[in-house]
Structure formats: structure tokens, C-alpha cells
A and B are shown apart, each in its own frame.
Chain A
Amino acid sequence: MIDKRKVIPRRTFIAGLASSAGLTLAGCGETEPPTYGNLLRMGDWVTYKAHRLLLPEQALAREYDLGDISAMPATGTVNPGDDQQTFFDPVHGPEFSRVQSSGFDDWRITVEGSVDRPGVFSLQDLQKMPSRTHITRHTCEEGWSAIAQWTGVPLSTVLYACGMQSQARYVWFHAYDSWIDSIDMNDALHPQTILAYGMNGRQLPLSHGAPLRLRVERQIGYKSMKYLRKIVVTDNFADGGSSVHIDDGWSWYNGI
């Protein structure tokens, strides 16, 4: 389940303001995202529910041509091994440096939780699976956008290979830079949701999440987590705490 060390309640100005005004969302339990009962989260929740109700499940994000590929900024963590990074993880940061020095030969990703056959995969294991390549627009919450080509294995392929159980509803991702986040099954099983190891025809560069990153093409950029090390399938929505930055006001669902 979720790394309990990461579940640190932290109130921000807005969150505190709204919750102190007694604005709580009744019936918002652990099975429904998001778990924070303030006014802003209610808006996020309405948006999430409206999108899931009104938008077709399998609609594909627009795909572009090779000539549309653009310059692309790398922001946030650009090297999880660097202890000066904002989201440096004292445990997994040095571990990242170690697997990086092996050319990611020693890198493994684990898949656990609500699966019949929890798995451990090397980069080669993933590259042997059927791949998908698409050219899509990365849309950052900051307001910028960039077009790049991504190559990887569909997340659904990996989940089914591990025997995902029928009651599973969310997929959690743990990164080397202390970041944790999740997506629902609609996005997890979407054909464009891939575990990418290639960018613009090359191996995924360090600054863009090497050796493996997530691509969730129908959500804002920060949901496409970089530097993956663990995938956990869960039946319920669990609070990721400050690591997912929902309690800093960052929306868990960000299709807008």
C-alpha cells in the first residue's frame, strides 16, 4: 500500500482557510478522490466527475507529425541523484545514482498490490514487450507546451501481465525523487498511457525521467511522472500526503 512515511498532513493557507470555514465534502471517503475536504478540492472533484461522466473513455489525445517535434524544457527534478534537488529523497536518491552508473542495467521496477503475480522488471524486460510510439503535446500547468515523441510499453500491457485483479481501481507510481502520485483505471488502461523509455527516437534522457517515465496524455504534465521505481495497484483511493502535493492545492485530477 501507500508509503505511510509520506503521509504528512500539511495545511496551507487556502486549505486551512477553507476547512476552518467548515466546508467539508460529506461522504468523501477513501474510495473517492480527492480526500481533502476543502472548497477547492470540491471544484476539482466536480471537474473529475464531469469529465468521467461526459467524455468518451477511449478518446485519444491528438498525435502530431515528426516535423512538429519542438524544443522541450526539463523542469522539476532533472536528476534524482542530485541532493540539491527540491524533491531529493535521501533513500532513493543515492540508489538512483547507483543504478544510473550501471547504465540502468541494475535498474528494476516492481509492480505490486492488487495483482495476482507481483513482478520485477528490468528495462530489457519492458523493451521486449509490444511497444507504442506516439508524438504528443506535453501541456504544463505553468502554461507552456512542447511536442515530443514517446516510445514505451502500454501500462495496461504491464498491468495485465501481472494479473491485475478485477476490483483494482487506482494505480500508484513511486519515483526516485520522493514523488508519489496515482491515476484512475480510465487513464491507466487508456491506449496512450505508456511507460516510456524512449524520447524522440533515443533513449529517454536523464532530465526527462530516465530510465522510465509515465505518459498520461489526457492530463496536465505533472501527472506524467518521471524516474519511476515502483508501481502499486490499489482498490481504494489513498491519501498520498505531501508527496503528491494535493494538500498544497495541487489537483489530483488535472485533465484541464
Chain B
Amino acid sequence: MKEDVVVSEVPTEAEGHRRWVRISHWVIALSIIMLGISGVFILAVHPRLYWGEVGNDLVPAILEIPISANHRPEGWQRTVDFTEVSQSAFSANRMYPIFNQNGWARSLHFLAAWFFLLAGLIYALAGFISGHAKHSLLPKRGDFSLASLKKDVLEHLKPRAGAIGAGPPYGIVQRISYGIVLYVAMPLMVITGLAMAPAITAALPILLDIFGGFQSARTVHFFSFSVLLLFLVVHVTMVFITGFSRQMRAMILGK
């Protein structure tokens, strides 16, 4: 079906997936689910996004996400003004209880992050050494030509007659998606995550400079998660469309 597009495929990959791909895929998948669930709980505690270093209930947000009632501008009692320091420097007491499950949510988030980081590093390293990344995952030079892109998009829109092969070779749209997710969004999740850690930014203040501050990193963390979520939805949908049992067998058993 796509032989004219993918020419330099590794023969051993024609059937299903290699073992290291399967294992790291599922460890990463499980850790992303855990990171996503705990991440939504963490976000719900303070569902406001900002740019720069500072962001809290007393300053304007660039985006508010309606997933909790934790931000109540009327629920703050102004106590101290530090006007001699700056007009915007003051303090206020929070007068209402908030929803907060961060005790377990944060610990679960960081536990899952360890699995994500380790499996991700193994995946990236193995992909580089074996040539899997270069041959199968990343977009090739010709992929970005309008003609071939159009052809592959149209291919996706055709009604599917029967199951298609699981695993490589991948189409152009697939390779661009995998490229963005694996080499842009996922590393960005890790780097912005590290940029939010006070102990880590003390050692590596460049992490704050890259994004322009703690809150900027948090905002980028949220948006790159949104990209991953969008990918996850499309990815799982495509698994169902192209034959669920066949795709699952390929990713679990490798055949």
C-alpha cells in the first residue's frame, strides 16, 4: 500500500514490533496514563496558568481552566501592603478551603515520571543505536513535499477494507506525528517538569532562563501535555480502526 513512500525499511520490522519497542512502549504508556491522571489532579488544585516566574491567586492569569472552584477572587482577605517595596507587593489570606489531593497526586506523578524517564531514555537510545528511529519513526527528507503529504492524508481518509499491517513501515503523517511526540513533546514534558523543581533549578538555573520562569515552564508543560493527549486519542482511535486485536497482538507479542 505504501511501498512507494517507504523505501528503506528494515526487513525484520515488517512483522509486528521488536521486543524493546514493545516493553518500552507499555512502560511509557502506563506511566503516561499515571502522569496524566495525577497531573489533572495537580492542575485542579491551581487551575490557572501564567507567564514568567510569578503566578498566584492575587495576580492575573493568562488562562483559567474550569476544572475546580479553587480560585475565588472574593475569598481573599488583604492583610499587609508592602507598598514601600512595590505597588504590586501585598499579602492576602485565603479564607476558604480548597480541593487538594496533591499529597498522593504529586508523589504518584514523580514516581511515574521516574518510569517514564528511564523507559524513555532506553527507548531513545535503542532507537538511535538500532536505526529504528531513523528508518521507521522520523520523517524523511521527501516527507514534507506537498504532493506526498497530500497523498498520505488522502490515504488516511479512505475507508479501510480489512486490517492493514501492524508496525513499520509507517506513513508520512504517522512519522511526522511520532517525530513530534517522541522528539519534541515528550522531551519538553521532562525539561519543563525539571524547570519546576526548586532543587534542580538551583543547580541548573538555565532551565528557568530557557522558558522565562517557573510559571512559563508550567504553562508549556500543560500545552505539551495537551499535544500528547491529542496524540493519544488519535493513536488509540487508529488502533481500533486498523484492527484492535491485530494491533494489540503486534505490540504485546510482536507478531
Q: B94 contacts the other chain (Cβ, under 8 Å)?
A: yes
Contact B203 A71 (CB under 8 A): no
Contact B198 A217 (CB under 8 A): yes
Contacts of A21 in B (CB 8 A): none
How many inter-chain residue pairs (CB < 8 Å) link A and B?
A: 178
Instruction: Given A40-B108, A256-B197, check contact A146 B56 (CB 8 Å).
Output: yes
**How long is the Cα–Cα vector from A48 to B199 in the complex, in angstroms?**
10
Contact B199 A207 (CB under 8 A): no
Contact A137 B54 (CB under 8 A): yes
Q: A2 contacts the other chain (Cβ, under 8 Å)?
A: no
Beyond the given A64-B53, A70-B86, A74-B91, could you list 13 further A-B residue pairs with CB under 8 A, ordered by the A residue number?
A40-B104, A46-B111, A56-B203, A71-B90, A74-B94, A140-B46, A143-B43, A143-B48, A146-B54, A147-B53, A148-B89, A251-B106, A255-B197
Q: Classify chain B: how many residues form its interface, as a range.
A: 35 or more
Contact A201 B85 (CB under 8 A): yes
Instruction: Given A70-B89, A74-B94, A141-B106, check contact A47 B114 (CB 8 Å).
Output: yes
Contacts of A144 in B (CB 8 A): 46, 48, 55-57
Closest 9 pairs between A and B when the two form their complex, measured CB to CB: A255-B199, A43-B111, A143-B46, A249-B103, A144-B56, A249-B104, A71-B58, A256-B197, A40-B107
Q: A75 contacts the other chain (Cβ, under 8 Å)?
A: yes
The closest CB in chain A to the CB of B54 belongs to: A70
- Residue interface mask A196-233, B partner, CB < 8 A = 1: 00011110011110000000011110000000000000
**How long is the Cα–Cα vector from A137 to B108 in the complex, in angstroms?**
25
- Residue interface mask B25-64, A partner, CB < 8 A = 1: 0000000000000000011011010000111111100000
**How long is the Cα–Cα vector from A148 to B239 in the complex, in angstroms?**
51
B218 to chain A, nearest CB (A): 7
Instruction: Given A217-B198, A256-B197, check contact A207 B91 (CB 8 Å).
Output: yes
The closest CB in chain A to the CB of B115 belongs to: A43
Give chain A's interface residues, CB within 8 Å of chain B: 12-14, 39-44, 46-47, 51, 55-56, 59-62, 64, 66-75, 78, 137, 139-149, 199-202, 205-208, 217-220, 245, 248-251, 254-256
Q: B238 contacts the other chain (Cβ, under 8 Å)?
A: no
Contact B202 A256 (CB under 8 A): no
- Residue interface mask B191-233, A partner, CB < 8 A = 1: 0000011111111010010000011001000000000000000
The closest CB in chain B to the CB of A13 belongs to: B104
Q: B130 contacts the other chain (Cβ, under 8 Å)?
A: no
The closest CB in chain B to the CB of A38 belongs to: B107
